[in-house]
Structure 1
Amino acid sequence: MARSEQEWLTHLIQQHDQCKADLLSMDSYYEGLQPLSYMAPELLAELSDRIRQVVINWPRLVVDSLEERLDVEGFRLAGSALADKRLNQWWQANDLDEESQLGHLDALIMRRAFVIVGSRTGPDADTDDDGDEDAPLITVESPLEVHAQRDPRTREVQAAVKRWSVTEGATKVEHATLYLPDTTIWYERDGGAWAEADRDDHELHTVPVVPMVNRARTRNRDGVSELKDIVPLSDAACKIATDMMVSAEYHAVPRRVAFGFSEADFQDEQGRPVSAFSRVVGRMWATEKSKLDGADVVQFPEASLGNFHDTINSLAALVASLSGLPPHFLGLTTDNPASADAIRSSETRLIKRAERKQRAFGGTWEQVMRIADRIQTGEWNPDLRGLETIWRDASTPTVAQAADAAVKLFAAGIVPRRQTREDLGYTQPQIARMEAADEAEDPMARLAGPNPAAAIGPKPSPVDQQIVADTVAEPAGPAESRPAA
Structure 2
Amino acid sequence: MERTELEWLTHLIGCHDKELGELKALDAYYEGKQPLSYMHPELQAELSEHVRQVVINWPRLVVDSIEERLDVEGFRLPGKAMADEELWRIWQANDLDEQSQQGHLDALVMRRAYVVVGANEKDPDTPIVTVESALDMFAVDDPRTRKIRAAVKRWCEGEDEEEHATLYLPEATVWWLKGKDGVWVEDPDHPRDDHKLGEVLVEVLGNRTRLKRRGGVSELADVIPLSDAACKVATDMMVSAEYHSMPRRVAFGFGSEDFVDENGRKMSVWSRIAGRIWATEKSRKEDGADVIQFPEADLANFHSTISQLAQLVASLAGMPPHFLGHSTANPASADAIRSSEARLIKRAERKQRAWGGSWERVMRLVLLVKDGQVSPDVSALETIWRDASTPTVAQAADAAVKKHQAKIVPLRQTREDLGYTQAQIERMEEEDEREAQQVMQRLAAGDMTPLFGTKPGPGPEPDAPEGGEPPEASSGNAA
Name the TM-score, length of structure 1 as normaliser. Answer: 0.86
Equivalent residues in 2 for 1:22-421 (5 A)? 22-121=22-121, 134-168=125-159, 171-192=160-181, 193-197=183-187, 198-262=191-255, 280-292=273-285, 293-421=287-415
Q: Provide the rounded CA distance (Å) in 2 between the counterparts of 1:406 and 1:266.
A: 76
Structure 1 range deviating more: 332-341 or 245-254: 245-254
Shift of 1:246: 1.1
Secondary structure at the aligned position of 2:435 is classed as coil
The one-letter code matched in structure 2 to 1:189 is K
Shift of 1:421: 0.4
Does residue 423 in structure 1 map to residue 422 in structure 2? no
Q: Provide the rounded CA distance (Å) in 2 between the counterparts of 1:148 and 1:378.
A: 23
Q: Provide the rounded CA distance (Å) in 2 between the counterparts of 1:218 and 1:88.
A: 32
Secondary structure at the aligned position of 1:200 is classed as coil
Is 2:260–2:267's contact at 8 Å kept on the other side of the alignment?
A: yes
The one-letter code matched in structure 1 to 2:347 is R
Is 2:439–2:450's contact at 8 Å kept on the other side of the alignment?
A: no
Q: Provide the rounded CA distance (Å) in 1 between the counterparts of 2:89 and 2:259.
A: 81
Q: Provide the rounded CA distance (Å) in 2 between the counterparts of 1:466 and 1:276.
A: 91
Secondary structure at the aligned position of 1:284 is classed as coil
Secondary structure at the aligned position of 1:199 is classed as coil
Shift of 1:281: 2.0
Structure (1 or 2) with the larger CA radius of gyration? 2
Is 2:139–2:151's contact at 8 Å kept on the other side of the alignment?
A: yes
Question: What is residue 451 of structure 1 aligned with on the other side?
Answer: none
Is 2:260–2:279's contact at 8 Å kept on the other side of the alignment?
A: no
RMSD: 2.4
The one-letter code matched in structure 1 to 2:170 is P
Is 2:260–2:278's contact at 8 Å kept on the other side of the alignment?
A: no
Secondary structure at the aligned position of 2:423 is classed as helix
The runs of 5 or more residues in structure 2 that have no matched partner are 441-447, 456-479
Deviations 1:33-57 (A, max 9, x none): 0001111112112223222001111
Deviations 1:101-145 (A, max 9, x none): 000000000000000001112xxxxx6xxxx55201000001100
Q: Provide the rounded CA distance (Å) in 1 between the counterparts of 2:343 and 2:179.
A: 51
Shift of 1:443: 6.6
Secondary structure at the aligned position of 2:313 is classed as helix
Shift of 1:353: 0.4
The change in CA–CA distance for 1:440 and 1:265 in structure 2 (over 3 A counts) is closer
Q: Provide the rounded CA distance (Å) in 2 between the counterparts of 1:117 and 1:282.
A: 68
The runs of 5 or more residues in structure 1 that have no matched partner are 122-126, 447-461, 470-485
Question: What is residue 432 of structure 1 aligned with on the other side?
Answer: 426
Aligned length: 441
Is 1:120–1:133's contact at 8 Å kept on the other side of the alignment?
A: yes
Shift of 1:362: 0.8
Deviations 1:421-448 (A, max 9, x none): 01100011111222222222227979xx
Shift of 1:302: 1.8
Q: Provide the rounded CA distance (Å) in 2 between the counterparts of 1:280 and 1:87.
A: 70
Q: Provide the rounded CA distance (Å) in 1 between the counterparts of 2:18 and 2:236.
A: 35
Shift of 1:263: 5.2
Structure 1 range deviating more: 38-47 or 221-230: 38-47
Structure 1 range deviating more: 390-399 or 435-444: 435-444
Deviations 1:194-246 (A, max 9, x none): 11123111111110010100000000000000001000111111111111111
Q: Provide the rounded CA distance (Å) in 1 between the counterparts of 2:334 and 2:363.
A: 40
Secondary structure at the aligned position of 1:177 is classed as strand
Question: What is residue 2 of structure 1 aligned with on the other side?
Answer: 2
The one-letter code matched in structure 1 to 2:312 is L
Q: Provide the rounded CA distance (Å) in 1 between the counterparts of 2:185 and 2:74.
A: 41
Shift of 1:284: 2.6
Is 1:257–1:298's contact at 8 Å kept on the other side of the alignment?
A: yes
The change in CA–CA distance for 1:206 and 1:55 in structure 2 (over 3 A counts) is same
Shift of 1:191: 2.6
Is 2:136–2:154's contact at 8 Å kept on the other side of the alignment?
A: yes
Q: Provide the rounded CA distance (Å) in 1 between the counterparts of 2:273 and 2:156.
A: 52
Name the TM-score, length of structure 2 as normaliser. Answer: 0.87
The one-letter code matched in structure 2 to 1:50 is H
Sequence identity of aligned pairs in percent?
65
Deviations 1:52-105 (A, max 9, x none): 001111111111111110000000001111100000000011000111100000
Secondary structure at the aligned position of 2:155 is classed as strand
Does residue 16 in structure 1 map to residue 1 in structure 2? no
The change in CA–CA distance for 1:463 and 1:92 in structure 2 (over 3 A counts) is closer
Is 1:374–1:381's contact at 8 Å kept on the other side of the alignment?
A: no
Q: Provide the rounded CA distance (Å) in 2 between the counterparts of 1:88 and 1:267.
A: 77
Q: Provide the rounded CA distance (Å) in 2 between the counterparts of 1:445 and 1:70.
A: 41
The one-letter code matched in structure 2 to 1:245 is M
Structure 1 range deviating more: 298-307 or 50-59: 298-307
Q: Provide the rounded CA distance (Å) in 2 between the counterparts of 1:96 and 1:201.
A: 26
